[in-house]
Amino acid sequence: MKRVLVNMPSQFGGKPSGVARVAFGLIGALAARPGLTVVLRSPWSREQLPAAFGEAVEVVTVPRPRIMVLDVLAQLVTVPACCRRHAIDVVLNIDPYGAGAGGKARVVVVHDLYFKTIPHSTGPREARTSDLIVRLMLARNDAVVAVSDATRRDLEHHYPAARGRVRVIPSASVLDPAIRADDARSEVAGRYVLAVGNATHNKNFGLIAEAAARLSAERPDLAVVHVGEDPGDTIAGTLRRLGSALRPIRLSRIDDARLAALYRGALCLCVPSFAEGFCLPVLEAQALGCPVVCSDRSATPEVAGAGALTFDPSDPAALAACLRRLLDEPGLRADLAARGRRNEAGYTWAATARAYEAVLDAVLAHAPTR
């Protein structure tokens, strides 16, 4: 029986970020694999974890670190001790804020490199710290997984030593299949453009406001709905700056059932990001028959496949043109929805788990005796 430590100390316990949601989808699929036992080391307690895990996943709860770089260094000692206690064969660091020691072998997952690809989105000190951590993890892990080809290209460009070591393994939608079948109606009436995710710099949500303001004269009934946090008031602030009377609807911390209903009722999901490591909302929308309109940069066109209209994320007129097409061209929305469903069907957690297990087996087969 192979024992895998999924190491995820950087995530806040009880707060399902994108990385945590991906981790839980992967853990559930790995735990279902024969001959494999999963041990999760994270700030999450058993009570906070998905009920579907049951007793299939062993849980080691640790405090979330206050200073990441110090914790990464401390894990050089603490994780090997944890591995000895739990008879771990291989460590899977779910992001680079993990362990450079422990187990017979280690694998690190890289989701994005925003501190390199959009450097003005982080401060110089944070960028230097992140760079140090990534270099340490690349040096002390036996294999590297990137969640998309876009992330692989970024990784190999900025860290040439990673070339030839990176395996691309995509994720899949994390919405519960039972919720997908739910016929609940959206709480927002009329036509609306949906944005999903916290309004971080890379999301570029201000562009949605600029495009909506351009359309408001001819389409005064078109609304903008944002699901996520927006401490900088990005969308509403942009609309006020442009003098638009349009006021966005913002919803935070909603459950999957409400989110699924919003996907179904939307004119489209809009993803105007400058950079994405993967972008789960694209697959969530496609799984529910919601057309996708997304940036032509980074990982979004790769993940969306043929099931999306794409545009230049620096050009509000290009996004407005895409939205106008969805509003004016009969059959386009249904065609995009059908193509999106076909694209999303190619992403499954079963396939993802098989690919991860193959990487874990490969590093174990070549691991030196420690």
291-331 confidence digits (pLDDT tens)? 999 999 999 999 999 999 999 999 999 999 999 999 999 89
The angle that helices 280-287 and 256-265 make with each other, rounded to 10 degrees, is: 70
Is residue 182 pLDDT above 60, yes or no?
A: no
**Mean pLDDT for the stretch of residues 133-150:** 96
Compute the CA torsion angle 83, 85, 86, 89 (nearest 10 deg): 40
Based on its alpha-carbon atoms, the radius of gyration of the chain, rounded to whole angstroms, reads 21
pLDDT of residue 369: 56
DSSP state of 130: H
pLDDT of residue 34: 92
* pLDDT grade for 155, boundaries at 50, 70 and 90: very high
pLDDT of residue 92: 98
Nearest of 188, 179, 196 to residue 282 by alpha carbon: 196
pLDDT of residue 218: 87
pLDDT of residue 180: 57
CATH fold of 2-172+348-365: Rossmann fold (3.40.50)
The angle that helices 18-31 and 280-287 make with each other, rounded to 10 degrees, is: 70
pLDDT of residue 121: 79
Domain 177-344 bears CATH identifier 3.40.50.2000: yes
**27, amino acid identity:** I
**Mean pLDDT for the stretch of residues 24-49:** 95
pLDDT of residue 119: 84
pLDDT of residue 245: 84
Contact 107, 93 (CB under 8 A): yes
For the chain, the domains span 2-172+348-365, 177-344
**One fold for 2-172+348-365 and 177-344:** yes
Q: pTM (2 decimals)? A: 0.92
Among the residues of the chain, which ranges form H helices?
Answer: 18-31, 68-85, 114-117, 124-140, 149-158, 177-180, 206-215, 234-241, 256-265, 280-287, 300-304, 316-328, 332-344, 349-365
Is residue 76 pLDDT above 70, yes or no?
A: yes
**Mean pLDDT for the stretch of residues 218-242:** 92
Contact 282, 269 (CB under 8 A): yes
Nearest of 38, 35, 36, 34 to residue 53 by alpha carbon: 38
